[in-house]
Amino acid sequence: MIGHTKCAAGVAGLIKASLALYHKILPATLHVEQPNARTFDAESPLYVNSETRPWLQPEGGIPRRAGVSAFGFGGTNFHAALEEYRDDLLPEAPLHPRWPAELYLWAAPDKTGLQGALNVLEAALDSGARPAAADLARNLAADFQRAAPGGIRLAIVAADLADLRRQLAGCCAYLERGEALPAGVHLCDAPPLSADAVALVFAGQGSQYPNMLVDLSIQFPELRRAWERADLVLQLHLEARLSSYVFPVPAFRKTERAAQAEALTRTDIAQPALGAAGMGLYRLLERLGLRGGHLAGHSYGEYVALCAAGVLSEDDLYRISYIRGRSILAAAQETPGTMAAASADEQTVTAAIAGIADVWPANLNSPRQTVLAGTEQGIAAACTRLEAAGIATRRLQVACAFHSALVAPAQTRLARALADFTLNAPQIPVYSNTNAAAIPTIRRRLRPNWLST
């Protein structure tokens, strides 16, 4: 955002629009606190883009386009329409060259070897060396990947070279005198984990929120492609693009922000949105070389885990997620109910709410958290009883009472819908979130997913 450039008016805008198209980013307009209500009312297609957001593919696959207007002091006005280049002559836009932090990696046979490598870098920085942070991180990563297996490995996350220098000093203090490692430093001398020692768990409904994964969606094409694919698959089913619920236009009032969050809780929107978020993240992790030998999902997240395992295609995941959400809404239309988390184990929670009707333990998340599902009246009474007993509670951002009898009628509708989809054998073991066992029969398992605790 710069002042008037006189006879060069519009050149900065042309550069800005060109870069926005190239990087597929909607850049923020700065310093707007309250747009003019007469121009930017609820019915207007215009809005102030006060937040940097991913520029997703427009509907119908049309190219991204931008308009630039320039008004010179001499009275000459210029207008330009720009369109993105979409053929394959040029490579895809590179990742942002300047991250807010960099990852620095070392591998050595033992602590003595590691300390020697750190001392060399310390001496270089102390003597005035100022390498670009990204270049230094890249070179260290290349050495790290060539290192022999075993030994000791060190990872440092630092914002700049000064921060890195402080972290190095802390590491050397640890290696020389046994002092505590500083925050942001990770040291390991155990054998590297294999994929079989890593499990990936996908989130369930209630974890969604407007602008979730916005930073990653701006930087990484894997995330953008997931949102764009879900938009395309569901374009005939939703009133607006799915991604428009996840990345709504910037809101300047609390009531507007609350309405945007409420719209994203609708089950037939939240579930495919979480599906796209989960698959985008999964594709990104694959690109980064992180693969899990085991998959699981929390409630709805089990569907995303099955997609990652190859049971469902990505398109079918979005279709089933939408159908599942609609089935639940239809089944719970008259009494949708709600859910609440209680900070105690199941036995303590059920004892505290004994005698309250229409409330069921839904999620046994941990020995310190139990989620309840039930009618509005039942959950309200349960929360009052639990708070009086000194047990903290929190209402969840969900559209109905999942994992309870209130959504049971949806099972038949979903079972009929699932018969039309191709379900493959999992390429990676997927573990049930009801009994922690590998899922043997996929089609039978998907039906009661939302009914079981």
Instruction: Write out the catalytic residue numbers.
Output: 299, 403
Give just the sign of the alpha carbon dihedral 230, 232, 233, 236: positive
Return the biggest CA–CA distance within the chain. Answer: 81
- 342 forms bridges with which residues in the sheet? 370, 393
Q: Classify the phi-psi angles of 289: left when phi > 0, otherwise alpha if psi is within -120 to 50, otherwise beta.
A: left
Tokens of 223: 């995330």
- d(CA 446, CA 453) in angstroms, rounded, equals 14
**Chain position carrying tokens 């720009």:** 82
Task: With residue 201 as reference, give the H or E element that holds it.
Answer: strand 199-202
Q: Are strands 338-342 and 430-431 parallel, antiparallel or unpaired?
A: unpaired
Residue 431: helix, strand or coil by DSSP? strand
- d(CA 286, CA 427) in angstroms, rounded, equals 15
Cβ-Cβ contacts under 8 Å for 167 (sequence gap 6 or more):
156, 158, 182, 184, 185
- d(CA 105, CA 116) in angstroms, rounded, equals 14
**Chain position carrying tokens 């073991």:** 429
**CB neighbours of residue 358 within 10 Å:** 19
